[in-house]
């Protein structure tokens, strides 16, 4: 009997409701692990839906504060209007950031496909000029990312460094895994050395071990970085790092618009696809 899609997507998605996400966050918090909540959705082209998504994020912040959850939020700008107009998205993002400031919480701005990259940077720098409670995801597989990181350093921004999960042409991005890993390590060390707060968002154990060696050698404070991983991946490593006294954050996505996120997770890792196939054909 074939299982319903959400059943095997639950490996990577906390559920469809905020209650599901808050429950997952509490479980991580009980193990000393911070969380970042993300209400899934992207490429919204209707202003009404974009405003509704903005209200949803404000509600998430209200609930994090009300229930004393150790969490921040991650927002895709195309979900709150970037696919409509940059100015409109900036207004929506500003509303979310103001509520986050009220509760002393952080807003992570997620990075999406390359058609949104420059606009995302523009909005991030605008928000950063108003508040330090904002962080930006930077994709190591883009050629431009080294220059972008240098600019963020000069403006004392905070970075969530990821490898990149969108399919991009060779004209703008590394396509070989080894090249992306090499650039990730270069950018990671650059950010750590300049004492910019960094979320080291990877499950690559070689890169994590290299980060630990570099941090120890350079005597970098544990307050200046965290390891960030995705919900459902390397749970044992998440707990191990937390037990060793490192800050660890788990990215907890939820919502009905889970398929694009789920599909990117399958493309990234062969073992993710094997997990799904195993459960898809289980009798």
Beta bridge mates, 234: none
**C-alpha to C-alpha distance for 215 and 164, rounded to whole angstroms:** 23
Residue of 38, 110, 119, 148 with catalytic role: 110
| Structure confidence at residue 266 as a pLDDT band (50, 70, 90) | low
CA pair distance 133, 130, nearest whole angstrom: 9
Q: Is residue 160 annotated as a catalytic residue, yes or no?
A: yes
**Average pLDDT of 195-220?**
96
Burial call 173-206: b when 16+ CB within 10 Å, e when fewer? bbeeeeebbebbbebbbbbbeeebbbbbbbbbee
Domains of the chain: 5-280 (3.20.20.220)
- Average pLDDT of the residues in 73-82: 97
pTM for the predicted model, two decimal places:
0.89
- Is the pLDDT assigned to residue 9 strictly greater than 90? no
* Range with the poorest average pLDDT among 4-8, 202-206, 230-234: 4-8
pLDDT for res 76: 96
Give the model's pLDDT for residue 283: 36
pLDDT at 50: 98
118 or 16: which carries more pLDDT confidence?
118
The active-site residue, picked from 10, 99, 160, 265, is 160
Instruction: Give the per-residue pLDDT at 277.
Output: 45
Contacts of 35 (CB under 8 A, 6+ apart): 24, 25, 28, 29, 69, 70, 71, 72, 249, 250, 251, 252
């Amino acid at each position: 009997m074939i299982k319903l899609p959400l059943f095997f997507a639950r490996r990577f998605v906390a559920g469809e409701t905020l209650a599901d996400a808050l429950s997952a966050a509490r479980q991580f918090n009980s193990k000393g692990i911070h969380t970042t909540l993300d209400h899934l959705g992207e490429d919204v082209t209707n202003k009404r839906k974009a405003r509704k998504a903005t209200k949803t994020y404000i509600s998430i912040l209200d609930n994090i504060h009300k229930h004393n959850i150790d969490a921040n939020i991650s927002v895709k700008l195309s979900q709150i209007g970037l696919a409509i107009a940059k100015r409109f998205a900036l207004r929506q993002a500003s509303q979310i950031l103001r509520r986050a400031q009220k509760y002393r919480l952080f807003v992570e701005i997620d990075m999406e496909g390359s058609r949104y990259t420059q606009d995302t940077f523009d909005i991030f720098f605008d928000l950063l000029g108003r508040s330090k409670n904002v962080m930006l995801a930077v994709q190591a597989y883009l050629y431009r990312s080294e220059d972008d990181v240098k600019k963020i350093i000069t403006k004392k921004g905070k970075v969530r460094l990821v490898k990149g999960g969108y399919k991009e042409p060779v004209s703008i991005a590394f396509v070989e895994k080894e090249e992306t890993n090499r650039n990730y390590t270069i950018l990671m060390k650059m950010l750590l050395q300049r004492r910019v707060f960094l979320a080291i968002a990877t499950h690559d154990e070689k890169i994590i071990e290299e980060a630990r060696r570099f941090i120890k050698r350079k005597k970098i404070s544990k307050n200046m970085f965290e390891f960030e991983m995705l919900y459902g991946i390397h749970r044992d490593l998440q707990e191990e790092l937390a037990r060793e006294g490192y800050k660890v954050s788990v990215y907890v996505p939820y919502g009905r618009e889970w398929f694009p996120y789920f599909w990117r997770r399958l493309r990234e890792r062969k073992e993710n696809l094997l997990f799904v196939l195993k459960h898809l054909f289980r009798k």
